[in-house]
Amino acid sequence: IRLVEEAEEARAPTERFIDRFSRWYMPAVVAAAALVMLIPPLVFGQDWGTWVYRGLALLLIGCPCALVISVPAAIASALSSGARRGLLLKGGAVIEAAAGVKRIAFDKTGTLTHGKPRVTDLLPAPGVTEPELLATAAGVEAGSSHPLAQAILRHAREAGIEALPASEARVLPGKGAEARVGGALAWVASPGHAAAMGGIAPDHAGPAAALEAEGKTVVALFREAQALGLIALRDEPRADAAEAMRQLRAMGVAPLILTGDNPRTAEAIASGLGMAFRAGMLPEDKLAAIREMGASGGVMMIGDGINDAPALKQASVGVAMGSGTDVALETADAAILRDRVADVPALIRLSRATMGNIRQNVGIALGLKAVFLVTSVLGITGLWLAILADTGATVLVTLNALRLLRFDPTRMAGDRGH
């Protein structure tokens, strides 16, 4: 509720433009009304009463009420409509930016996938047992909220294996985690980081690649100069992810995966969803990729973790999954509260419908004014019709904006009977 209230105060660029336009428009109308009242009687000797009456009608019909209310009414309706359906947008500026997005970058884990991976394979190094491998890994990951860490800890609990006591634990962003276990440093890390530190047994390189080709995420457990083994995990794509990508492509939006996972796992997920991908990305790599894409037009970033926060902030529109970290939710411009990937095209659909509604409102307001400004000066319409037109334009744009309350962006256009 607090974020929706704050969002209503964040004004769209179109709204700010109309406010600036109104500051010039109204003095111009007052000046035009004064000229209509004075020039015909003073220069051409015509009746004062007739031209003062027409000048007052012109002044009344020129009132910019309908024009000024046309944007905030549509924005408020859109924010309310989105919030009802689990789409939280933090202001009119976000709606306007989302409507113009042409490319969307997705984080993988917890965004396109459920974020609840499960351990599928344990490959201990020679001389290491599976319980030893799991107990050490659980010790390193104890206290971590990362989905892979939670999966390892959950698997250890289910196997009845207690995590070894650990200290000095810390996260290595984009690489893994380390902790002191049994008096020596131990790491749970990506295969690339582990290989650079000599943490993968020579006979495990092939099996690791094979597991990754199956769409599994592989992490290596090792101590200083001693490989302990590999743990493979699998995180299934969300059920609606493929349909969401189809909708985005139909809307002319190109989806892309940006993930810190390995290329083989990323390819397995991306090929199933029909997406391009970039893998092995650290947080700073995601940030650079978003900056690069943003140089050629509007880009949206969808993520859920601390690692995604910089990219979310850099994107034209950053969108956090509702189950994500507080940092991601606070940094993002919008949030998908129901954790449905199909809500991403719905968010864009709502934004585009809102901008269309705003254009209709501005057209109604300016069109009515243009007609009645001319007819008032020519004496075709009088004060009473000017009052009706001015009030009627305000009512019309308000009613048109309220139509957005019934707009359901989670349904395809064909399902709405249009």
- Nearest Cα residue to 67 out of 378, 297, 366: 366
Starting at the earlier edge strand, list the strands of the sheet with 217-223.
118-124, 226-234, 217-223, 184-189, 176-181, 166-172
Catalytic residue among 107, 304, 333, 390: 107
From edge to edge, which strands make up the β-sheet containing 103-106? 87-89, 334-336, 317-321, 299-303, 103-106, 254-258, 276-278
Q: Are strands 317-321 and 103-106 parallel, antiparallel or unpaired?
A: unpaired
Q: Which long-range contacts (CB under 8 A, 24 or more apart) does 167-175 make?
A: 169/140, 169/142, 169/143, 169/144, 171/144, 171/146, 173/282, 173/283, 173/306, 173/307, 174/260, 174/281, 174/282, 174/283, 174/285, 174/307, 175/282
* Token representation of residue 418: 């249009």
**Cα–Cα distances in angstroms (integers) from residue 239 to residues 118, 300, 341, 388, in the given order:** 17, 22, 9, 53
Q: Is 212 exposed, middle or buried (CB count within 10 Å of its CB: 0-12, 13-18, 19+)?
A: buried
Whether residue 232 contacts residue 120, with contact meaning beta carbons closer than 8 Å, is answered with: yes
Phi-psi region at 225: left, alpha or beta (left = phi > 0; alpha = psi -120 to 50): left
- 3-state DSSP assignment of residue 174: coil
Annotated active-site residue 107? The verdict is yes
Q: Tell me the catalytic residues.
A: 107
